[in-house]
Structure 1
């Protein structure tokens, strides 16, 4: 009968709960002895015996969260653990510790609405705990619900608990929300309470700037700066406005003044100067301005390795590797155990074509560093540059085998050996094979070069450098039937890395070889424009451009770029290419050779 069935079901459920409780209590005992693994197993058995047993669900879910197994740390499994804990939190809504722990987990797992739901309920049940409102305000802000966030802070203030940091946070939210009136009111309250606090005075100027009252912002910040000339804050705020206005004179003046203040530490000053110098370099502005500001810090901290490091990077960015070498050498003298400094030194030496010195630096670094793995790549580059191909290949092979000991370097790779590697490791491994391919091509070992490129792409199909180099070398040294494959690879490299002059040049030249002169001209024009804009003149690129222009019916322009290729050649062109260029210029026509 139905009643008998219901009774039997109830007895069965009670039996499952009793069994689950025994597992659960044994888990608690084991956890108290420090045997977390066995405790977790008991919690699992308790939960699987009775999934409605919220205490067991909480214990098992919590145990899963701290278990260091990849299978339990995926987002899907973390959310499953989170869901197990939910049943306990909902069963005991007044347990503030568990509710707040659950809400924190929700934030870490980016399930903010669920965190908000639990804390909203907790605050309704415990309105005498205004600190819950602060947590809610942060969650609402993370959800993009600025209105709710501000309302929560308003309620917090109504408890008489508002502190200055929270008030400043609410002010920023009002500004972001566009509540100008509310932001001004908050600002005035802060200034009335702390009329001498310069950070709030500066914040008022920044508020004017944000609400598009720049003249008022400048006037107010200039007033603040005059009242407290020793503070960096108003100077930096003014510098931001002057930079926005492209007023380089006043911008430099404020940065200069900020670097002279004593309320900023060396790290802050180095950070400010770094940002300043990066802007100069990226915008190709007059670096004399940077030299002047550098002297300000150099006078204050003449022997600090952080500043010497910045000076080296700055000189390298300006195209002066010799000065960079000198500066980073001083930094190494102060901090010889810094591996980054040794890497920089080798990089600058290679850039300055001092590759033998780079090889010596590698040997010297081993006297100070316990691990020189990161320097090996630069060692291989230096060896490759001086033509010591066997040494370079040997180093790359050692780097490959350090990652996958039995991976082939002389035959097609076995991809099953790569299963344990993560994305970045695959990218790095593919890069080593690409470098080996480049070396073999330079050595004239085409079959070995193409095998290395094949391996590089088997490991990481979207290696743009391997795609470009393989495509170019295949086009100029392979057979005509190889051109479609070369074009496909080159096109893909341009899709992966847009606006790269070298990659566009490769694709244009392959199209030229396929007699698609119109499309070739489009890509080569873009390549030349990009190279010129970056200040990276290339004889090869100009020579290609001349040929493509000629085939597009533009002989005069072609002639000018053939001449430009000769003028800019710096050991880039082979002797036979130079002779052919001179022949084209002399006869003002293209030759098939």
Structure 2
């Protein structure tokens, strides 16, 4: 029997349902491992021999489980249970396995049997509660957890789960009771008070919620956070005048308290005091004592209000410029400004300038540089892309994306040597954490460039590296396969790669043409016709299809359909595609290979080439003979 229980190192995951996070203090729950808790003493019903057998199977089961041999462990636990059907330990562990095997009913029976034998074992009892949660039986889970807590009050983790279960059941009264029990066990805390306040809110008991929060303020008169929090609560419940007093009291004590300043800003907006709101906004944003994240929050709030009112983006940009027009401006705020301009679809040059502003402040900001490069790329400003990539190599040398963009920009500028060098610098940064897609694409383009430079072996090696990183890189698969077919070698490998591309993109005319041509090179002319017809049907009308049309003519000719073949050859003959061999095929109404055509065109040169090849072959044979 095979059981896939690789994740059974952690027996169960407790589903936590509630939205309120209860505080976890220093006290830890006191639990003992299975088998070490106080157990009910009972008479051993086994004979000495069976007791030895039982102990052996139980010990060996635990050893097999620890070694990860879960099927063997399961069988051994079952052997132990057959010897002693009342074994709490064997039944307990079998219940875990059975639950993992989706045999929930049988697993529950085994667990209940274990609890029946050792009712005081809290691990068994808690496991039962967890089982009920996993099945969505929350009432049963509550009863089970309450039973666990009744036997061990120090296990406050159980109370936290109970509080969330009661919340899920919308039993807020018992939720409140549970938090109170937590306070009894762990002592009062600010977080417990806030939790009770939120529970009262859920119960729509505003007076009780207010009293909880007010008691927190009274207990901590020097903590301005709680006063501000109470002010915000009052604001939410339309008690603005009382809220205003708390905010101003806090700011008298701590004039630079950004939390109170933000709350007062919200108050001015809520009471439609625009001038005072703007004044407070300026104070928050222009203060060097206000942290950056608070400023960003204020910008987002201002933008949201602006969108609600008139959506005048010039007001937002003016505010950004004002805040950034200081010594040592924040790069984070500059980045928010650039993102806002991009979101509002402002002129591309303006957005580029905004991201360049970010880079002026923080030249190592990789995200801002990527955004800049992508915008420049869309404008086909390849020289500027190259400059940005060079700068990135200085500040972010490990980021391969910049080598990719830099190399592609060189390639677009027809500087193949520089592009190749850039890609080589990029792959030199490859490590185990590198993105597979990006590394694969780098090698793929290297392969294309190397093949254009007639460095075919190096090109094929680059394609092999590309496919190691991403086996389904369709463009690389197609180009590699086609270039192999042009060489007339490794045709089976080429066919397998090309077949992958048409499986991945069955309506891609280019990939269908490549596959048809490889079949043609393998002399499978009937099959080749099927796929070249599909390629013709799916060809892109915006591209030059001369090669596809010439291939169609060649394939039709070898299928004996000469008139159709000539028709395709004539369609292939255009201003950019007027080769001598194509003209010969049209004139002679027959297919001829490149090699045969060159032999007909220049018999002497072909014969000389043939003799040289034969000479090399003979030389190799002689050398082998000498070695022998």
**Deviation at residue 25 of structure 1 after TM alignment:** 1.1
**Deviation at residue 225 of structure 1 after TM alignment:** 3.9
Alignment-derived partner of residue 472 in structure 2: 405
User: Is the deviation greater in 329-338 or in 202-211?
Assistant: 329-338
Q: 1:324 to 1:417 in 2, by over 3 A?
A: closer
Alignment-derived partner of residue 68 in structure 2: 37
Alignment-derived partner of residue 370 in structure 1: 398
Task: Map residues 537-556 of structure 1 onto 2, 5 A cutoff.
Answer: none
Task: Identify which of 228, 231, 235 aligns with 1:209.
Answer: 235
**Deviation at residue 162 of structure 1 after TM alignment:** 2.0
Larger Rg: 2
Within the alignment, does 1:173 sit opposite 2:199 as a pair?
yes
**Deviation at residue 84 of structure 1 after TM alignment:** 9.7
- Checking the alignment, whether the CA contact within 8 Å between 2:111 and 2:124 is kept in structure 1 is no
- C-alpha distance in structure 1 between counterparts of 2:543 and 2:94, whole Å: 61
Alignment-derived partner of residue 22 in structure 1: 56
Task: Identify which of 306, 312, 315 aligns with 2:338.
Answer: 312
- C-alpha distance in structure 1 between counterparts of 2:272 and 2:107, whole Å: 51
Task: Map residues 525-544 of structure 1 onto 2, 5 A cutoff.
Answer: none
Within the alignment, does 1:340 sit opposite 2:367 as a pair?
yes
**Deviation at residue 167 of structure 1 after TM alignment:** 0.4
Task: Identify which of 191, 197, 207 aligns with 2:223.
Answer: 197
Alignment-derived partner of residue 76 in structure 2: 46
User: Is the deviation greater in 184-193 or in 103-112?
Assistant: 103-112
Task: Identify which of 229, 237, 258 aligns with 2:263.
Answer: 237
- C-alpha distance in structure 1 between counterparts of 2:304 and 2:442, whole Å: 33
- C-alpha distance in structure 1 between counterparts of 2:58 and 2:156, whole Å: 35
Q: 1:406 to 1:199 in 2, by over 3 A?
A: closer
Alignment-derived partner of residue 151 in structure 2: 125
**Deviation at residue 345 of structure 1 after TM alignment:** 1.6
- C-alpha distance in structure 2 between counterparts of 1:132 and 1:188, whole Å: 29
**Deviation at residue 183 of structure 1 after TM alignment:** 0.7
- C-alpha distance in structure 2 between counterparts of 1:128 and 1:395, whole Å: 58
Deviations 1:71-97 (A, max 9, x none): x7xxx9699999699659846565556
- C-alpha distance in structure 2 between counterparts of 1:228 and 1:90, whole Å: 59
Cα RMSD after superposing both structures? 5.6
Within the alignment, does 1:149 sit opposite 2:196 as a pair?
no
Write 1 or 2 for the structure with the bigger share of helix. 1
- C-alpha distance in structure 1 between counterparts of 2:220 and 2:547, whole Å: 76
Within the alignment, does 1:183 sit opposite 2:214 as a pair?
no
Alignment-derived partner of residue 293 in structure 2: 267
Q: 1:446 to 1:300 in 2, by over 3 A?
A: farther
- C-alpha distance in structure 1 between counterparts of 2:122 and 2:134, whole Å: 18
- Checking the alignment, whether the CA contact within 8 Å between 1:190 and 1:200 is kept in structure 2 is yes
Deviations 1:160-212 (A, max 9, x none): 82211110121122123311121122123212212332222122222223334
- C-alpha distance in structure 2 between counterparts of 1:90 and 1:224, whole Å: 57
- C-alpha distance in structure 2 between counterparts of 1:282 and 1:447, whole Å: 57
- C-alpha distance in structure 1 between counterparts of 2:103 and 2:283, whole Å: 51
- Checking the alignment, whether the CA contact within 8 Å between 1:206 and 1:237 is kept in structure 2 is yes
- C-alpha distance in structure 1 between counterparts of 2:197 and 2:247, whole Å: 18
**Deviation at residue 149 of structure 1 after TM alignment:** 1.6
- Checking the alignment, whether the CA contact within 8 Å between 2:258 and 2:294 is kept in structure 1 is no
- C-alpha distance in structure 1 between counterparts of 2:231 and 2:93, whole Å: 53
- C-alpha distance in structure 1 between counterparts of 2:103 and 2:360, whole Å: 48
- C-alpha distance in structure 2 between counterparts of 1:363 and 1:109, whole Å: 57
Within the alignment, does 1:163 sit opposite 2:193 as a pair?
no
Within the alignment, does 1:325 sit opposite 2:345 as a pair?
no
Q: Which has the higher contact order (CA 8 A, sep 6+)?
A: 2
Deviations 1:404-451 (A, max 9, x none): 436466978679779xxxxxxxxxxxxxxxxxxx99565476999xxx
Q: 1:377 to 1:247 in 2, by over 3 A?
A: farther
- C-alpha distance in structure 2 between counterparts of 1:154 and 1:114, whole Å: 22
**Deviation at residue 302 of structure 1 after TM alignment:** 2.2
Deviations 1:298-336 (A, max 9, x none): 467825543343233233334154344345345446666
**Deviation at residue 153 of structure 1 after TM alignment:** 1.7
- Checking the alignment, whether the CA contact within 8 Å between 1:259 and 1:296 is kept in structure 2 is no
Q: 1:125 to 1:375 in 2, by over 3 A?
A: farther
- Checking the alignment, whether the CA contact within 8 Å between 2:98 and 2:107 is kept in structure 1 is no
Alignment-derived partner of residue 89 in structure 2: 55
- Checking the alignment, whether the CA contact within 8 Å between 1:54 and 1:88 is kept in structure 2 is yes
Gaps of 5+ in 1: 1-10, 66-71, 419-437, 449-593
**Deviation at residue 257 of structure 1 after TM alignment:** 3.4
Task: Identify which of 302, 317, 329 aligns with 2:328.
Answer: 302
- C-alpha distance in structure 2 between counterparts of 1:20 and 1:300, whole Å: 80
Q: How many residues align?
A: 402
